[in-house]
Structure 1
Amino acid sequence: MRERERARERESAREREREREREHERESVRERESARERARERESARESARQRVSARERERERESERERERKRERRRESERERM
């Protein structure tokens, strides 16, 4: 009788240990998934920043081109006035 009781207790202890190990593994999986999600968010933020910089650069280039065109137009106008 006592032997069966001790065997049940040992089995119960083994089951608790297995459950602790499973919970530890689940926690590890959650941590890895969380780390991957944070990495995706950081990459997304970097990409957004690159796109904003790129858009600003394109706008600066368009503005430079407009300024060059205005200068050409003023030069043409000056040449017409001289004639």
Structure 2
Amino acid sequence: KKVAKKKVAKKKVAKKAKKKVAKKKVVKKKAKKKAAKKKAPARKKAARKKR
């Protein structure tokens, strides 16, 4: 019975670890999008200046 509980605990830890990795990936994607949004207005301004 004790061994079974340990296995369940390990599964829970593994799930948490996977979620953390997934969150990190999402955060990176969001960071990239934010950076792109910040760059976009600068591009628009440059385009206006060229005109």
| TM-score, normalisation: structure 2 | 0.88
How many residues were matched structurally?
Answer: 51
Structure 1 runs, 4 residues or longer, greater than 6 Å off: none
Q: Find the residue that maps to 2:45 and give its secondary structure.
A: helix
Larger Rg: 1
The equivalent of 2:23 in structure 1 is: 55
Gapped regions of structure 1 (runs ≥ 5):
1-32
State the Cα RMSD in Å: 1.0
| TM-score, normalisation: structure 1 | 0.57
Separation in 1, partners of 2:7, 2:45? 57
